[in-house]
Structure 1
Amino acid sequence: MMVRGADHSARALRLMIRDLARGRQGVAESEDLKVRPLETPGPGVRVGDGSALIHGARPWQGAYTQSNIGDAVVAVEPTGPFARTDLIVLRIEDPEWEGERDPCTQEIGYFHVVKGVAHDASAVPEGMTGVALARVALPRNTAAITADVITDLRQIANPRTDRILRTVHPRKTEEVPGKHGQWAAWPKEAAWDLDVPAWATTATIVVTLSGLRAEAGPVYAELRTRLGERAAKPTVVDDDGTTTRRSSATLADTLAVPPAYRGTRQHLSVEINQNDKYGDGNLTVAKGTTVTLDVAFTEGPA
């Protein structure tokens, strides 16, 4: 293929795909090949648009790419007196390696149901070339498949990540604003407008406040981040000292990115809620305080 143009073997192309994929397999993007119930629940599911990368089950078999346009309906056999768990799989049957499909007249890539797997199965049976898309846990005497019995098993072959780092150095002393016992944005400089990637499904946010200053008595406060309207879990600053002292706090959480946020600009800020019940000291940022923001937007199944 490298020296004779298009004159190459199918295996050479599969091995090239394997190398370009760097050993990973799965769907291409977050919405690809999602398994859902039929529009009117019945004995089957539908698999949505998308594409996937599938590695061969045998050494040096290479990798395959497959695409689906529109919903594909996959029949699932109803259960009888016993419950059953099935896997919905995008399977490859390359006659060079397994099966007897004729590539001239039959699709070698197709949606397949692996019946009667373990209740926690998440991968295709050993020796089968394919990727698991969903697990369907059918109760006994059931024909209609609903969303609550479908578990999404998709993984993205090469998920995208966009990491953002910012630093802030407050230039003047700033006490906690507003009435204690209520959430307020603080410090003012710890606020950023971020462009959320159109493909992002999660945001891992870490904010470190180094050199916080406490004085005039004990301090008890909660600190958290807020992305748009989504608040992260709080971190507590609990200091029983009485003299002027410095401390650090790390705020960290992973938030799901709502579809409405994707491809938009959202405001990220730090908030504080100081409680006078456990101390009446003052918590401030001042010269010598550093605020560091580290955000990683990541792509995952949605």
Structure 2
Amino acid sequence: MGWDGIPWFVEGTAASEETLRLVVEAAACGGEGIVGPADLLVTALDAPANAVQVAPGAMVAKRRASTGGGNQSYAARMSTIEQVDIEPTNADGPRSDLIIARVEDPYGGETWPAPEDPAVGPYVFTRVIPDVPPGTTSILDVDPDSTAITLARVDVPMQTSVITGGMVTDLRQMARPRTHTSRRYLPGAWSTPDDVGPITDVWEIFPLGATWTEKVPEWATHAAVHVLITGLLHPDATEARGQLRVSFGEQQGAGMPYGITQSGRIAVQAGHRFLLDPADRGQMRDIDVEGIGTVEVAGVLQADSSTVLSLEVTYSQEPVRA
């Protein structure tokens, strides 16, 4: 018979291990990595020594054994901080080590030793893969058959026994990252023209009304804000020069310059990718478009009935420290 006889879930039956691993694979949409954005973060010890620590968390790892079929993954969790030793380097030169979380299942087609008590394991471990090529970013680059996820790389200088924060590179990825994009449009909303340029000592909302308040998703760690304004009028040949930026809550994006010397209409844009404070998640935050002129440049840009503003906000969930 081609099908496994017992799907998940038929009352009074026991599905196979392969089917339960299929449930994990489906829940992660085929992805692998950490479950929460702060999970399994690798850092130097508070008092640096020849070790690193791994924060509690959970992960999904794709099963890569050659037997039993594909579309299977393992889910595992670590409930407490774990400390992992890093071997010192000597005069031979620097060394790079990968820190990984690996499932070692001796019953799933791989050659791991069985634990003394199969009922309690363990079958999942934090491992150090020593002396990988410099710049390595994934365990799959050095062991493509590993049922593991990559947490970090530790680059240890020559003759070093103490691991500091600057030696640790975070390589975590989300098993199922989330995103949400919203767009807003203000077409021809300025029957009375609104200028940018005359004010050169403070940022102002531009165009008038380009401000919104919205709730940040509970899961979001980053927000990318992009604004495009088309049809801004430069009414004469007096040079207009300044900057536009976007702001999110208490954070301000980088100013992006504009400049024009001929009369006519132009398009300008600005954007920024914000790392959200944990306090922002689930809260109402303001999103503004702002402008400022350049000192001793007299020209202006005007938003009028032919101007169209479009704003795009993309929230994403990515590995973070908290």
Alignment match, 1:273: 292
The share of aligned pairs that are identical, in percent, is: 28
Alignment match, 2:28: 21
State the 1:87 CA deviation: 0.8
The amino acid of 2:309's aligned partner reads: V
The amino acid of 2:42's aligned partner reads: V
Post-superposition Cα deviations, 1:197-233, rounded to whole Å, max 9, x if no partner, equal 2332221111111221111323222211111232223
Q: Could you tell me how far apart the structure 2 residues matched to 1:138 and 1:188 are?
A: 53
Q: Could you tell me how far apart the structure 2 residues matched to 1:241 and 1:298 are?
A: 40
Alignment match, 2:3: none
**Runs of 5+ consecutive residues of structure 2 not aligned to the other structure:** 1-5
The amino acid of 2:265's aligned partner reads: R
Q: Normalising by structure 1, report the TM-score.
A: 0.91
Q: Could you tell me how far apart the structure 2 residues matched to 1:177 and 1:249 are?
A: 14
Alignment match, 1:224: 245
Alignment match, 1:108: 123
State the 1:276 CA deviation: 5.7
Q: Secondary structure at the match of 1:24?
A: coil
The amino acid of 2:216's aligned partner reads: V
Q: Could you tell me how far apart the structure 2 residues matched to 1:277 and 1:220 are?
A: 10
State the 1:67 CA deviation: 0.5
Q: Normalising by structure 2, report the TM-score.
A: 0.86
Q: Could you tell me how far apart the structure 2 residues matched to 1:203 and 1:225 are?
A: 11
Alignment match, 2:315: 297
State the 1:65 CA deviation: 0.2
For the 8 Å contact 1:170–1:189, the answer to whether it is kept is no
Post-superposition Cα deviations, 1:6-32, rounded to whole Å, max 9, x if no partner, equal 412111211232233222100011100
1:200 pairs with 211, 220, 224, which one?
220
Q: Secondary structure at the match of 2:23?
A: helix
The amino acid of 1:73's aligned partner reads: Q
Q: Secondary structure at the match of 2:18?
A: helix
Matched length: 299
Q: Could you tell me how far apart the structure 2 residues matched to 1:260 and 1:290 are?
A: 33
**Runs of 5+ consecutive residues of structure 1 not aligned to the other structure:** none
For the 8 Å contact 1:177–1:186, the answer to whether it is kept is no
1:74 pairs with 63, 80, 84, which one?
84
The amino acid of 2:81's aligned partner reads: D
Q: Could you tell me how far apart the structure 1 residues matched to 2:213 and 2:120 are?
A: 54
Q: Could you tell me how far apart the structure 2 residues matched to 1:149 and 1:260 are?
A: 29
Q: Could you tell me how far apart the structure 1 residues matched to 2:21 and 2:79 are?
A: 22
Alignment match, 1:42: 49
Q: Could you tell me how far apart the structure 2 residues matched to 1:219 and 1:250 are?
A: 15
Alignment match, 2:172: 154
Query: Where in structure 2 are the equivalents of 1:122-161 lying within 5 Å?
Result: 122-124=137-139, 125-161=143-179
Which segment is superposed worse, 54-63 or 84-93?
54-63
Aligned-residue CA RMSD (Å): 2.0
The amino acid of 2:135's aligned partner reads: D
1:233 correspondence with 2:254:
yes
Q: Could you tell me how far apart the structure 1 residues matched to 2:44 and 2:278 are?
A: 21
Alignment match, 2:99: 88
Q: Could you tell me how far apart the structure 1 residues matched to 2:160 and 2:12 are?
A: 54
Q: Could you tell me how far apart the structure 2 residues matched to 1:204 and 1:174 are?
A: 26
1:189 correspondence with 2:209:
yes
1:163 correspondence with 2:174:
no
Which segment is superposed worse, 119-128 or 260-269?
260-269
For the 8 Å contact 2:235–2:301, the answer to whether it is kept is yes
Q: Could you tell me how far apart the structure 1 residues matched to 2:294 and 2:159 are?
A: 56
For the 8 Å contact 1:178–1:184, the answer to whether it is kept is no
